[in-house]
């Protein structure tokens, strides 16, 4: 990918770029005045909704509409949700109840995975979303893993890879951005990165064979986004988690694997990084590693602090000015890819429709272990 050479270095431009590197969460089911003021100040790239923001699907659609109206129309909002299925499903009442991805791996028919992905893409589109943080591309290789388990398609990296690729293709052909997570693999951890900093002690041949295989398939399927893992892989980088590692993200994911889409950090509020590294160090290293967007999912104070540090990094070092410009080029390319000829969203009656119930009942029946 060619580099975009920046000539504008004004404070206004740096603030605009800093805001466009943020994906933020909000506190409730509507936008209060404090949140509205913060959004006006930050002008983030987009938003992520959680169960705390959800009352029912029509309210979610209206909340997404309101959030989108608060940002500059020249930079249309990324509106995102974790609607994986199984344990991770933010909108439940009124939407289809989704089995975990492991059920699809157990059925092991790509046409069924494709139908599931299309079902889910249509439901999230109906509620106003344009990005779903799925699929999990982690291989469930550690039975003691506290957070992956049946969120993964399989314990077999080859099976995970083929279902990940099919899921991405079927999601994105309906205009919903997919996300392969958590790069380069969270499946062999024994601890939860929400609570501590996990380490995966594997040699490079095994990492290539197991952890990376599904992500290679995701790149080949032209996945829009990759989410980083707050996990240390000592054979690649013994000093930094993947989110902050130039070796893992820039060298391996971008240069060796050829990924040109958006790299998004996992939530900066997670204890794997929060309080373990100064925020400036986190952002400095992650930007140098070619992270484009930063998730700050709940805390307004951290959202504002992240914005201010991103501005200061550009002010303090010309290299960060260029890194931000490069990130904006990738963001713009992604928006053009998915937003310029976006298809009209389905009507709300697609949610939990009879057709969807029948498909999911079949998957539940055939895929349960």
Active centre residues (catalytic): 194, 266
DSSP line for 52-104: GG-S-HHHHHHHHHHHHHTS-TTSPPEEEE-EEETTEES--TTSPPPPPHHHH
What residue has token string 């157990």? 106
Written as six digits, the tokens of 79 are 């509106």
Specify the pairing of strand 83-85 against strand 88-89.
Answer: antiparallel
Question: Residue 366's closest CA among 93, 112, 29, 2?
Answer: 112
* CA dist list (Å): 363 to 106, 108, 143, 180: 9, 10, 23, 22
- The DSSP secondary structure of 164-202, one letter per residue, reads HHHHHHHHHTTTPBPEEEEET--TT-SS-TTTS--B---
Q: List beta partners, residue 237.
A: 233
Upper half-sphere CA count for residue 316 (Cβ side, 13 Å): 8
Question: Which 3 state secondary structure label does DSSP give 41?
Answer: helix
Cα–Cα distance between 154 and 165 in angstroms, integer?
A: 14
CA 265/CA 258 separation, integer angstroms: 18
Task: Assess contact for 124 and 98: CB atoms under 8 A.
Answer: no
Q: Work out whether strand 232-233 and strand 237-241 pair parallel, antiparallel, or are unpaired.
A: antiparallel
Residue with tokens 């991103």: 310
Using DSSP, state whether 14 is helix, strand or coil: helix
Please check whether residue 152 is in contact with residue 136, taking contact to mean a CB–CB distance below 8 angstroms: yes
């Amino acid at each position: 990918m060619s580099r975009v050479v920046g000539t504008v270095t004004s404070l206004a431009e740096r603030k605009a770029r800093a805001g466009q590197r943020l994906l933020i969460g909000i506190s409730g089911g509507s936008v209060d005045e404090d949140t509205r003021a913060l959004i006006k100040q930050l002008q983030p790239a987009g938003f992520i909704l959680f169960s705390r923001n959800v009352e029912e699907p029509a309210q979610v659609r209206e909340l997404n509409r309101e959030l989108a109206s608060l940002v500059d129309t020249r930079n249309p909002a990324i509106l995102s949700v974790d609607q994986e299925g199984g344990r991770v499903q933010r909108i439940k009442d009124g939407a289809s109840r989704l089995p975990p991805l492991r059920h699809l791996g157990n059925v092991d028919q790509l046409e069924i995975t494709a139908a599931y992905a299309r079902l889910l893409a249509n439901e999230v589109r109906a509620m106003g979303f344009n990005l779903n943080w799925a699929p999990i591309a982690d291989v469930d290789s550690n039975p003691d893993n506290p957070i992956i388990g049946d969120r993964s398609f399989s314990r077999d990296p080859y099976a995970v890879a083929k279902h990940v690729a099919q899921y991405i293709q079927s999601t994105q052909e309906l205009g919903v951005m997919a996300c392969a997570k958590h790069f380069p693999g969270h499946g062999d951890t024994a601890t939860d990165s929400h609570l501590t900093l996990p380490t995966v002690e594997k040699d490079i041949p095994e990492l290539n064979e197991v952890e990376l295989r599904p992500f290679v398939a995701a790149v080949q399927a032209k996945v829009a986004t990759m989410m980083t893992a707050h996990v240390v892989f000592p054979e690649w980088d013994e000093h930094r988690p993947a989110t902050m590692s130039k070796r893992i993200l820039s060298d391996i994911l971008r240069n060796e694997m050829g990924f040109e889409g958006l790299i998004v950090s996992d939530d900066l509020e997670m204890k794997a990084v929060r309080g373990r590294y100064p925020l400036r160090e986190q952002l400095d290293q992650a930007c140098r590693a070619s992270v484009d967007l930063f998730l700050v999912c709940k805390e307004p104070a951290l959202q504002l602090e992240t914005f201010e540090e991103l501005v200061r990094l550009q002010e303090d070092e010309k290299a960060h000015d260029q890194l931000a410009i490069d990130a904006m080029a990738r963001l713009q390319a992604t928006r053009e890819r998915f937003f310029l000829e976006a298809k009209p969203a389905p009507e709300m009656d697609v949610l939990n429709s009879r057709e969807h119930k029948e498909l999911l009942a079949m998957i539940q029946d055939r895929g349960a272990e």
